[in-house]
Amino acid sequence: MKVSEEPCQCPDCRRFYKEHDRLIRQFPTLRQQQEINWAALQSFRTLCGKVLEDLQKKLNVNSLSQYEEDCQTGTAEKKEKSITQVITDLENINAHLYSIEALMERIFDVKVPDEVEDKFREVAGELAPDPLNIDRLKLNRLLHQTPDLPDK
Ligand SMILES: [Zn+2]
């Protein structure tokens, strides 16, 4: 393999690989992937929705009770613009999450036979083997004793 083809090893990418493999290892079936992804999507929506609601309330309170005062000092416009911008961004995120939910519902209707779920488990074990698994540790030890290594 050429150096340029090796996966990036920066801290962000390494964290991603680790998390990616962990999700495969801990949720190795189609059903489990469906459940964890649904839960992740819903928790994302719940949290964003609550913060959005809170910011909208805050904006309303500011508009009503501090309007005159802030107009005189001239600071209100700048402050409210940034909150308004954040609210717009969060509304966009929520709209996209809603679209993703509609697409995910189709994915999550699918069920597969147990044999196929077994295949999922098998492939998951190959893609993301447990780094602390005893077989894995033995294999690593064997690999480090190969004759082509200079110290052997
Ligand atoms: Zn990277």
Phi-psi region of 142 (alpha: psi -120 to 50; beta: other; left: phi over 0): alpha
3-state secondary structure of 109: coil
* Alpha carbon of 102 to ligand 1 centroid (Å): 31
Domain residues of the chain, as ranges? Answer: 38-112
| CA 6 to ligand 1 center in whole angstroms | 11
**Whole-number Å distance between alpha carbons of 133 and 119:** 20
Q: How far is CA 36 from the centre of its chain?
A: 11
Quote the ligand 1 centre to 48 CA distance (angstroms): 27
Calculate how far, in angstroms, residue 22's C-alpha sits from the geometric centre of ligand 1.
18
Rounded to the nearest angstrom, the distance between the alpha carbon of 83 and the centre of ligand 1 is 32
CA 148 to centroid of ligand 1, rounded, Å: 31
Which residue type does 112 have? V
Each residue's pLDDT expressed in tens, for the chain with a length of 152 residues: 455 678 899 999 999 999 999 999 999 999 999 999 999 999 999 999 999 999 999 888 877 665 555 555 555 556 666 888 999 999 999 999 999 999 999 988 899 999 999 999 999 999 998 877 766 667 666 666 555 555 44
H helix count then E strand count, the chain: 6, 0
Residue 51: Cβ within 10 Å count: 14
Q: What is the pTM of this model?
A: 0.69
Q: What angle do CA 92, 12, 16 make, to 5 degrees?
A: 80
